[in-house]
Amino acid sequence: MGKKTNLTGLSRFLPQDFLHNPISTSLSEKSQNQSKPAKKRKTDSVGPVRTRYDATALVPHYNAAHEVPENLQKYFSQRKRYFSLYDQGCLLDEEGWYSVTPESIAVQIADRCRCDTILDPFCGVGGNAIAFAKTCEHVIALDISPTRLALARHNAAIYGVADRIEFILTDYISFANAYLSRPHPTRRIDVVFLSPPWGGPGYISPSENHVSADDNADFRDELESHSQYSLSRIQPIHGADLFRLTKRISDNIAYFLPRNTDLNEVSALGRLEKDESVTTDNKSRMVEVEEEWMGSKLKALTCYFGGLVAGQEHLF
């Protein structure tokens, strides 16, 4: 499959009101100028890298702990786990600091999701999209925030993979409905990586208002052991409904969920396979749950469906 270097390829999937919105089309308009020769910029041998997608005016790039707001201090200490090239100028907004997938985990997931075209509907600041760009021919990255989408493209440029990612400013529900409304979509989406908002840093506790970013980590771990995360807390819609919608696009889904997710609910998703599948076989299907560890800490779960499950490659 050929690779495209601008956003116009997926414009046919988007509602007309979105296409005529001047904010939402700004990224597409800029990307159409990629064919023009880029002016060479002087860069220092040490420090942040400047690219044509430079977004340094949008958010600060912290170099030392004393520059970081108190509520982000614990995340800053892990900055190179999030982006190994952080010192070259990677950027995160406040939500990105607590929601980006650590790079080693993103790489692991990307290796499992090798395909031609993958959809990342909640790309955030680009951690997963960058990893996918190294294992897939084409990445479609969506986000509802123009700032986060610009940061994602900025970070992808630092990693040298921006040309393999199609960045689109839209919400996933609108995109999916527009894509599914076409009788014969001209581009097949092979895999969908679902990493929707979990509900903020306090997702571990059912009463997140009582768990702040300043709370002791051991105390939060203890809370987690006594609570389970329900898919009903997924945003923007119930996690099971999000899965149903996605199954209409592709059977091959990687669902990135909190480490304390109720596995009974995950199992129930597996029972939806036949009802919502885009294929028509009657064979029983499995769900594979992969634990994502960093050292001695369990960070998240990745639940694989369809042809992504080991032993079910024939379903791909």
Q: What pTM was computed for the model? A: 0.79
Q: Residue 261, SS3?
A: strand
How far CA 129 is from CA of 28, 125, 126, in Å, comes to 18, 9, 5
Residue 147 has pLDDT above 70, yes or no: yes
Taking the CA atoms of 251, 171, 97 and 241 in sequence, report the sign of the dihedral they define: negative
Instruction: Write the single-letter amino acid at 292.
Output: E
Q: Which strand (E) or helix (H) includes residue 254?
A: strand 253-258
Q: Quote the pLDDT of residue 146.
A: 97
Identify which has the larger pLDDT, 254 or 20. Answer: 254
Structure tokens at 46: 């040490």
Q: Which strand (E) or helix (H) includes residue 117?
A: strand 117-120
- The answer to which of 96-105, 193-202, 218-227 has the lowest mean pLDDT is 218-227
Q: What is the mean pLDDT of the chain?
A: 82
40-54 tens-digit pLDDT: 333 344 466 666 789
Residue 285 has pLDDT above 90, yes or no: no
Q: Under 8 Å CB-to-CB from 57, ≥6 apart: which residues?
A: none
Q: How confident is the model at residue 201 (pLDDT cuts 50, 70, 90)?
A: confident
Q: Quote the pLDDT of residue 131.
A: 98
97-130 tens-digit pLDDT: 999 999 999 999 999 999 999 999 999 999 999 9
Q: Quote the pLDDT of residue 279.
A: 53
Structure tokens at 305: 């469906």
227-280 tens-digit pLDDT: 899 999 999 999 999 999 999 999 999 999 999 999 999 999 988 765 555 555
Taking the CA atoms of 44, 163, 278 and 284 in sequence, report the sign of the dihedral they define: negative
Q: Quote the pLDDT of residue 4.
A: 37
Q: Under 8 Å CB-to-CB from 297, ≥6 apart: which residues?
A: none
Residue 149 has pLDDT above 80, yes or no: yes
| Partners of 194 in beta bridges | 255
Q: Quote the pLDDT of residue 108.
A: 97
Q: Residue 3: how many CB atoms within 10 A of its CB? A: 13
Q: How confident is the model at residue 195 (pLDDT cuts 50, 70, 90)?
A: very high
Residue 68 has pLDDT above 60, yes or no: yes
With beta carbons less than 8 A apart as the criterion, state whether 131 and 110 touch. yes
With beta carbons less than 8 A apart as the criterion, state whether 314 and 285 touch. no
- Distance separating alpha carbons of residues 19 and 173, to the nearest angstrom: 16
Q: How confident is the model at residue 303 (pLDDT cuts 50, 70, 90)?
A: very high
Residue 199 has pLDDT above 50, yes or no: yes
Residue 281 has pLDDT above 80, yes or no: no
